[in-house]
Amino acid sequence: MRGARVYLQAMKFLDQAKVYVRSGDGGAGCVSFRREKFIEFGGPDGGDGGRGGDVWVECVDGLNTLIDYRYQQHFKAKKGDHGKGANRTGARGADVVLKVPAGTEILDEDEETVLADLTEVGQKIKLLEGGNGGFGNAQFKTSTNQAPRRANPGLEGQERWIWLRLKLIADAGLVGLPNAGKSTFLAATTAAKPKIADYPFTTLHPGLGVVRVDGREFVLADIPGLIEGAHEGVGIGDRFLAHIERCGALLHLVDGTSEHAGKAYKTVRAELTAYGAGLENKPEIVALSKIDALSPELLKQQKERLQRAAKKKPLLLSAQSGQGVPEALRALLDIVDAGRAEETAASRPKEPWRP
């Protein structure tokens, strides 16, 4: 049991990590002379130093967290070997490769400058180059200096601190106050099994699930609930909103059993606007949840409140009973399909102009 607990702790979600990286130094050149028997005139034969290893970042499949970088923050490529006699070049230093999940941004130490954004499995970038190896004395031989006794040291590698920031890649995202029914909706529509309970902040980490509707699929993300002042760090803050920056659509769930559905909606919208990054402009579907727990009179009242606040007619659903869920999924899928079509059209090469 103890081993199981350790394993579960190791699998915790981590979406941000600070890492130190350093490329390898180049190897030094060699000063050497030929001294074979029966050769009347020797000469310099010192080889060059090997090149230092590079630092790479690769996007790989099978990862959905940066947890590995909690336990190791320093990554250094190997140094190049020194040159040797008989014109032997030193071996090249081994590279170091940081493996990250899809959706990882690489930021400079200032946490603002984006160095790279890896969104597809297989993408690989060279972050730092290793130092060049130094010349051996054979490189300095000339007609007037046939026995040079000098060699270059290898160049030093590069170093820097970087931030790795994971933004989950999903087609649509769920937003709302705590206990709005987001985790229940995710569990009802996907194979994901988020924690569900009757207290706020049950969800502490973003979750993903694959929705299948009408023979098609899309990825749905659930993020922890927002409360008023989240952009200032109240509750668990708004840092997890980064995970829906890439979403093409938002499903805003408003708890029908809340005191005032319109005020609940405006609270979340205010936090999305304060966060920025274009979240306030994303296509949004508004839905009143938990309608199975409302009387007809209260349902009508909450629906009217929400409609006035959102300035659009909300969907009515209950993830527990399934009422209204297919309609919400189809509405999301329509927006997702439209976004995919735009991306396909944008990536399609334009035909050359013809007279």
**pLDDT on residue 5:** 36
Strands (E), 52-94: 55-59, 74-76
Q: What is the pLDDT of residues 266-324, one digit of tens each?
A: 988 888 888 877 888 888 889 898 888 888 899 899 889 999 998 989 889 888 888 88
Burial of 186 (0-12, 13-18, 19+ CB in 10 A): buried
Query: Which pLDDT score is estimated for 59?
Result: 93
Question: Which string of b and e fits 141-178 if b means at least 16 CB within 10 Å?
Answer: eeeeeeebeebbbbbebbeeebbbbbbbbbbbbbbbbb
Q: For residue 231, what pLDDT is reported?
A: 61
CA distances in angstroms from 14 to 96, 167, 168, 203, 209, listed in the order given = 22, 11, 11, 14, 18
Residue range 220-249, pLDDT digits in tens: 888 777 767 666 666 555 667 777 788 888
The span from the CA of 290 to the CA of 134, in Å, is 71
Instruction: List the domains of the chain with CATH numbers.
Output: 14-166 (2.70.210.12), 172-347 (3.40.50.300)
* Per-residue confidence (pLDDT) for residue 204, from 0 to 100: 59
Question: Residues with Cβ < 8 Å from 343, sequence gap 6 or more?
Answer: none
- Tell me which residue has tokens 């007279």: 355
Whose structure tokens read 């981590």?
14
CB burial of residue 249 (10 Å; 0-12, 13-18, 19+): buried
Strands 249-255 and 315-316: unpaired
Q: Which residues of the chain have pLDDT under 50?
A: 1-11, 197, 199-200
16 close to 103: Cβ distance less than 8 angstroms: no
Mean residue pLDDT of the chain comes to 83
Q: Does residue 273 contact residue 280 with C-beta atoms inside 8 Å?
A: yes
CA dist 288 and 304 (Å) reads 11
